[in-house]
Amino acid sequence: MFDVIVQGATMPDGRVTDIGIKGDRIAAIDRLTGAKAGEVIDAFGDLVSPPFVDPHFHMDATLSYGTPRINASGTLLEGIGLWGELKEIVKVEEMVERGLRYCDWAASMGLLAIRSHVDTCDDRLLGVQAMLELRDKVKGYIDLQLVAFPQDGFYRDPSARENTIRALDMGIDVVGGIPHFERSMGDGTASVHELCQIASERGLMIDLHCDETDDPMSRHVETLAQEVTRLGLQGRAAGSHLTSMHSMDNYYVSKLLPLIAEAELAAIPNPLINITIQGRHDTFPKRRGLTRVKEMQSHGITVGWGQDCVLDPWYPLGTADMLDVAFMGLHVAQMTHPDEMRRCFDMVTTENANILNLEDYGLHVGAQASLVVLDAGNPVEALRLRPDRLCVIAKGKVISRKMRNDATLDLPGRSASVRRRHRLSQD
Ligand code: FE2
């Protein structure tokens, strides 16, 4: 007897099977014909995936677009200034309410694990309070992993160092930083050293906003890789953005990539934001702003696509859909070979889960029973269509359902229905 059976599921690897759930665990992956269950979800051969995972987000700022004004220049620096204005007027309850609204939206899109950076440059630490409260409120369905993030600079802001450490003491999960925003390269380097030391002493993961600039001489990722290796933080560290790498000297990069691989340092580009914010000072040719994704992957480096922003001081759009993120990444990184497109789907599911070190993630017996049924036949089709999430199960509970809604046309002399899917079987 199962609590839930998802029948007729096409797994990401193409197998068609049933999935039996007991409590919050996957109890069987097999043909379960005749088995009893409290509830049966018929996937009708649709793609069933483990949940989407976002490894880079700013939950404290989300859904605040236009408050108190918009980012007119579209630059990173105006965004940071605007966020500073918003921080002056924001309240804990309002941040929790915005975060909750976003988490509802994310859950309906099958996005069930999010790593969010939380600004620690505020003596009252209101964002930290709000996000800890939110983490608790959503824990039944979303794993919210929080990063202590000194937005205005660990050293550049006079109390950021102390407040970041206070935030970690309050229960923030991951050490963050922003070395390229310190006053000098030297301060940036020193901040990487100290932040890695803090992560090592506390046994925490570390994820720095690193080299989010068009300056090819911004090379803090080298120091990060070196410190991660020296302190034994392999597999627990990530560099977010790494955009300067797009303009670095190729000979230097040939030395850098093996260092990153040796450190098992993950890379988290954020394609929607990188393509929008980087290259703003360029005329033409204008740089794309994305780091070297395929090149890192060819060195065995884990690369995950992150979303970064939805309707906030840095980005006026956003959908809480990791397939949109992967779709943009696929285009900008030119990952159009079938194997590369398939890899892009893995990047927003299993590879991002690896970056967050999520335990019990995936579609296998004994894993946490979290999954999403998509109106698509396979991962590449899911990327092409960014289709409806027909059903979302989180920790054993069905939390979201949606009807299939193909368009029905009344045309002169005939009627038709439009199915966007282009599948070789099952239709
Ligand atoms: Fe960010």
Distance of CA 375 from the midpoint of ligand 1 (Å): 30
Question: What does the alpha-carbon distance between residue 424 and residue 134 come to, in Å, rounded to a whole number?
Answer: 43
**Domain final residue pick, 334, 355, 376:** 355
- Write the CATH number for 307: 3.20.20.140
370 lies in the same domain as 414: yes
Q: What is the mean pLDDT of residues 58-66?
A: 97
Distance of CA 308 from the midpoint of ligand 1 (Å): 5
In tens, the pLDDT along 120-159 reads: 999 999 999 999 999 999 999 999 999 999 999 999 999 9
Q: Is residue 387 pLDDT above 80, yes or no?
A: yes
241 lies in the same domain as 114: yes
Residue 427 maps to a domain: no
Catalytic residue flag (residue 94): no
Residue 248 maps to a domain: yes
Complete DSSP assignment for 267-327 = EE--HHHHHHHTTTT--SS-------HHHHHHTT--B----B-SSBTTBS---S-HHHHHH
228 lies in the same domain as 152: yes
Distance of CA 169 from the midpoint of ligand 1 (Å): 22
What percent of the chain shows pLDDT beyond 70? 98
254 lies in the same domain as 383: no
Q: Which pLDDT score, from 0 to 100, does residue 381 have?
A: 95
When computed from its CA atoms, the radius of gyration of the chain, rounded to whole angstroms, is: 22
Question: What does the alpha-carbon distance between residue 70 and residue 179 come to, in Å, rounded to a whole number?
Answer: 26
The packing angle between helices 92-108 and 126-137, to 10°, is 40
Q: What is the mean pLDDT of residues 382-406?
A: 94
Q: Which pLDDT score, from 0 to 100, does residue 422 have?
A: 60
67 lies in the same domain as 22: no
Distance of CA 276 from the midpoint of ligand 1 (Å): 13
Residue 425 maps to a domain: no
Distance of CA 58 from the midpoint of ligand 1 (Å): 6
State which amino acid sits at residue 123.
D
Residue corresponding to tokens 């976002």:
54
CB atoms within 5 A of ion ligand 1 belong to: 308
Q: Is residue 425 pLDDT above 60, yes or no?
A: no
Q: What is the mean pLDDT of residues 169-178?
A: 98
Distance of CA 306 from the midpoint of ligand 1 (Å): 9
182 lies in the same domain as 160: yes
Q: Is residue 188 pLDDT above 90, yes or no?
A: yes
The packing angle between helices 220-231 and 185-202, to 10°, is 30
In tens, the pLDDT along 85-112 reads: 999 999 999 999 999 999 999 999 999 9
Residue 41 maps to a domain: yes
Residue 208 maps to a domain: yes
Residue 78 maps to a domain: yes
347 lies in the same domain as 370: no
Q: Whose CA is closest to 52, among 345, 402, 377, 359?
A: 345
Residue 426 maps to a domain: no
Distance of CA 269 from the midpoint of ligand 1 (Å): 10
Distance of CA 283 from the midpoint of ligand 1 (Å): 25
33 lies in the same domain as 101: no
Q: Whose CA is closest to 131, among 172, 178, 160?
A: 172
Q: Which pLDDT score, from 0 to 100, does residue 424 have?
A: 47
State the residue range of the domain holding 14.
2-50+362-418
Q: What is the DSSP letter of 368?
A: B
153 lies in the same domain as 10: no
Q: Is residue 384 pLDDT above 90, yes or no?
A: yes
How confident is the prediction for the chain on average, in pLDDT? 96
Q: Which pLDDT score, from 0 to 100, does residue 420 have?
A: 66
The catalytically annotated residue of 212, 227, 351, 381 is 212
In the chain the first and final C-alpha atoms are separated, in Å, by 31
**Domain final residue pick, 302, 332, 355:** 355
Whole-model pTM: value is 0.97
Q: Is residue 427 pLDDT above 90, yes or no?
A: no
Q: Which pLDDT score, from 0 to 100, does residue 43 have?
A: 96
pLDDT band at 421 (very low <50, low <70, confident <90, very high): low
Distance of CA 24 from the midpoint of ligand 1 (Å): 32
45 lies in the same domain as 88: no
Distance of CA 79 from the midpoint of ligand 1 (Å): 11
Residue 410 maps to a domain: yes
Q: Whose CA is closest to 224, among 241, 244, 239?
A: 239
Q: Which pLDDT score, from 0 to 100, does residue 417 have?
A: 80
Distance of CA 178 from the midpoint of ligand 1 (Å): 9
62 lies in the same domain as 115: yes
**Domain final residue pick, 333, 355, 377:** 355
In tens, the pLDDT along 190-246 reads: 999 999 999 999 999 999 999 999 999 999 999 999 999 999 999 999 999 999 999
Question: What does the alpha-carbon distance between residue 135 and residue 115 come to, in Å, rounded to a whole number?
Answer: 11
Distance of CA 92 from the midpoint of ligand 1 (Å): 20
Q: What is the DSSP letter of 334?
A: T
- Enter the tokens of residue 91: 């309240």
- Enter the tokens of residue 213: 């600039």
What is the number of domains present in the chain? 2
DSSP-derived 3-state class of residue 423: coil
- Write the CATH number for 16: 2.30.40.10
Q: Is residue 267 pLDDT above 50, yes or no?
A: yes
26 lies in the same domain as 7: yes
Distance of CA 302 from the midpoint of ligand 1 (Å): 18
pLDDT band at 406 (very low <50, low <70, confident <90, very high): confident
